[in-house]
A and B are shown apart, each in its own frame.
Chain A
Amino acid sequence: MVRVKSRYLLCEVNVSNRSSLLHLDDRAVAAAVKAAVARTHGDYGAALCSIRFCVKYLNAHTGIVLLRFPKKFYRLLWSALPFITGIETRGQKIPCFLNCLHVGGTIRTCQKFLIQYNKHQLHQMLPKCKNKEEKNEVRRAILSCSLTGEKMGLKGEESEEERANT
């Protein structure tokens, strides 16, 4: 059996001003990626980018983006990502760059990686906490992402949001 294969790129949007992340939406990210690909790879790249490219997931709180590319051309399209210097939304340009964390064949593996990654981030955050409340919050978040089963993905997202709030 043959099926359509894709590559999912888990990227992190790095911004200097964290509050500007909330202005992001998936259409703006997609437009930025398409523009970068069109600039670096011309009409050929732009055509490849229009085949099965889409932004699958965007978390405006943490700046996590999941991009889907066709498997055959993902390296070519991936190479254009470092040339993104800003994302334009609602008339204003947010200076940022995309940091690719993980390349996976399915969304599931990306989600698993993201949970691991966020857990690691929380572990690093724990010693840096200043007061007790923050510490308890982080501890609770770490415990919550150790749950396994159906709600694994949901818990991961929750812990992310908690990370953003702390």
Chain B
Amino acid sequence: MPFPSFRKALWWSGPVAPAGRSWLLFYGGIRRMNGAKKSHESDYQRVVLKNSSPYHYMKVSLELEDESTKVSAVELKHFIITGLKSLFGEVGAALDFDVLKYSEDTRTAFLRVPSRGLVNLWSSLTLLGSYQSQACAFRVLQVSSFLLPLTGNSRELLLD
């Protein structure tokens, strides 16, 4: 049997398996060597993910001069979108970020943003200087590519 093809040779390093079953490509860039270990497949499986998260999560808080001002979640999102639009224009304003969770009392929000838009969003948050003609600032508390790390924060640990 001839060697399947050069392209397959890149993927396959082992005894030549029947064509078509020599390698498997999973969605999301998961690569799994198959074939020789076929019989042991049910025992264990090693999956290596590289840059698997398509999103980044940010924990931000809005600081205002007048602490009594009420900012609803819709107003917050609109405010961020105006910031994006002024800095990055209509293309930047089309960035599909979400406000996952927002508490009005502390004005702290969890944002989800596609990884390629993280820098854009962050820079526009930095440059947002005034909310309804009063000085304001966004404090980025935590950034992570997964939501789980945002549950704990080493900065907020209480030290006696």
* A interacts with B: yes
Residues in chain A within 8 A of chain B (CB atoms): 38-45, 79
A5 to B122, CA, bound (A): 30
- How far, in whole Å, are A40 and B86 apart by their CA atoms in the complex? 10
A-B contact pairs, 13 of them (CB 8 A): A39-B89, A39-B90, A41-B88, A42-B87, A42-B90, A42-B92, A43-B86, A43-B87, A43-B88, A44-B87, A44-B89, A44-B92, A79-B91
Interface of chain B, helix or strand or loop or mixed? helix
**SS class, residues of chain A in contact with chain B:** helix
Cα A79 to Cα B86 with chains together (Å) = 18
Measured between beta carbons, the chain A residues less than 8 angstroms from B89 are 38-45
User: How close is A51's CB to chain B, nearest CB, in angstroms?
Assistant: 17
Please, which residues of chain A bring their CB within 8 A of the CB of B91? 40-42, 79
User: Complex: how many Å from CA A40 to CA B94?
Assistant: 10
Cα A47 to Cα B8 with chains together (Å): 47
Interface: B85 (CB within 8 A): yes
A residues less than 8 Å from B86 (CB atoms): 42-43
With A and B bound together, what is the CA distance between A39 and B91 in angstroms? 9
Q: How far is the CB of B72 from chain A (nearest CB, A)?
A: 25
**In the bound complex, CA of A157 to CA of B110 (Å):** 59
Flag if B90 contacts A40 (CB, 8 Å). Answer: yes
Closest B residue by C-beta to A46: B89
Residue ID in chain A nearest B89 by CB atoms = A42
A113 to chain B, nearest CB (A): 29
Q: How far is the CA of A65 from the CA of B89 in the complex (A)?
A: 25
Most buried by A among B85, B87, B88, B91: B91
A41-B91, A42-B92 known; 15 new pairs, CB 8 Å cut-off, are: A39-B89, A40-B89, A40-B91, A41-B88, A41-B92, A42-B84, A42-B86, A42-B88, A42-B89, A43-B87, A43-B88, A43-B89, A44-B87, A44-B88, A79-B91
